[in-house]
Amino acid sequence: MREPRVRLDVFVVALVASAAASAVLASWLPLQVSIVTVFLFAGPHNWFELRYFLMRLPVRFGRSRNFFITAFTGLGFLTLTYISLPLLYRTASLTEETWLTIVAGWNTLLLFWLALLTRLRSRQKRLSDWSWTVPVALTLAALNWLRPDLFSLAIVYIHPLVAFWFLDRHLQRTRPDWLRAYRRCLLLLPLLLGAMVWQLSRTAQLPDDNGLFWRITQHSGAELLPQVSSHLLVSVHLFLEMLHYAVWIVALPLIGASVKFWDVKNVPLARHPKGFPKLIAAMLIVAIAIVVALWLGLSTDYATTRDVYFTIAIAHVLAEAPFLLRML
C-alpha cells in the first residue's frame, strides 16, 4: 500500500477549507467565479479522471468481459446520441412535446444501461441484495417521463456529488482508518448548502443580458425553475462543481491515488508485460493536447467553447458509472 503524501489532519483541514472557500466564492460572485473555474479546471480534471480510470482498467477482462463490453458499448452509443441532440434540435422543426419525448427516451436508455451494468456486476460479485436496483430504475424511469427536463437538470446537480463517492471508495480500499473522519467532513456539505439556500433564496435574479451569462444561468436551471433565484441556482451548482474539481485534481492525488501522475509506468496497462505502454502514453498525451486546445478555445470564444465542452463532457459523466460499480 502506498503511503499518503499528507497526514490525516492536513487532509481534513484541506477538505474543510476547500468546502468553505468554495461556498463563499460561489455565493459572492457566481457568474465571474463560474467563468474562471471552468477555464482553469474543466480540462485538467477530465485528464485526472482519465488517468484514474486507466489505473483501474484490468489488463485482461476475464470474468468482467460482459460487463466491460456493455459499459463501453453503452458509453459510446449514449455519448454519440447525446452529442447529436443539439444538432437535431437546431435542424429539425420539433414541437416542445416531441423534444421532451426525445429527452425522456435518452434518459430512459441511460437508466436501463445503468441497471444492466448493476445487474452484471451483482452477478459477478454474487450480490443478491442488489436486486432492489431494478424497481428503483423503473421508478426513476417513470418519474423521468413525467418531467424529463427536470430529470435532466437533476443529473446536472447530482453528477458532481459522484466524486465524493469515488473518494470514499478509494479511502475504504487504501486508508480505511481515514473513513470516519472523511465521512464526518461530508456532514459539512448539507450545512453549507443549507446556509447558501437561507442566504441566497431571496436574492435578485442574476443578470443574463449577454450570451455567456444567459448560458450559465440556463445551465443551472433558471428557465425551468423561474420561481427560484438564479443567484441561488448558479451558486449551488458552482459550489458543487468546485468541490468536484477539488476531489479529482487535489484530494485523490494527495492521498496517493495518482502518485507521479506524469509517469506512465504507474498505469498497470502500461507496466504489465502484456500491456499497451505506447497506447496509454499516446492517450494521455492526446488528452493533454485536448486540455490545451480547450484553454485556447475558451480564451478566444468562451461562450461557444463552453457549450461544446459541456456537450462532449457527457462522456466522462457516463464513464464514471462503470468504474464506480467496479469499486463497489
User: What residues contact 25, with CB distance under 8 A and at least 6 apart?
Assistant: 33, 242
Q: Please say whether the beta carbons of 319 and 53 come within 8 A.
A: yes
Query: Is the pTM above the cut of 0.85?
Result: yes
User: For residue 171, is it within any domain?
Assistant: yes
User: For residue 115, is it within any domain?
Assistant: yes
Residue at 281: amino acid letter: A
Host domain of residue 154: 8-327
User: For residue 3, is it within any domain?
Assistant: no
User: For residue 2, is it within any domain?
Assistant: no
Q: Please say whether the beta carbons of 254 and 11 come within 8 A.
A: yes
Give residue 174's pLDDT. Answer: 86
- DSSP assignment of 52-96: HHHHTS-SS-GGGHHHHHHHHHHHHHHHHHHHHHHHHHHHS---H
Give residue 1's pLDDT. Answer: 41
Report the chain (328 residues): mean pLDDT per 10 consecutive residues: 65 91 96 96 94 85 87 96 87 86 96 93 73 88 96 96 94 91 95 97 90 93 95 97 94 71 71 77 91 96 94 93 88
Give CA–CA dist 201/179, Å, rounded. 33
User: For residue 57, is it within any domain?
Assistant: yes
Could you give the C-alpha distances from 50 to 6, 63, 212, 253, 276, in angstroms and in order? Answer: 23, 23, 28, 13, 16
User: For residue 271, is it within any domain?
Assistant: yes
User: For residue 314, is it within any domain?
Assistant: yes
Please tell me the total count of domains within the chain.
1
Give residue 258's pLDDT. Answer: 55
Give residue 260's pLDDT. Answer: 62
First-last CA distance in the chain: 19
Q: Mean pLDDT in the chain?
A: 89
User: Exposed, middle or buried: residue 182 (CB in 10 Å: 0-12, 13-18, 19+)?
Assistant: buried
Residue at 314: amino acid letter: I
User: For residue 306, is it within any domain?
Assistant: yes
Q: Please say whether the beta carbons of 183 and 208 come within 8 A.
A: no
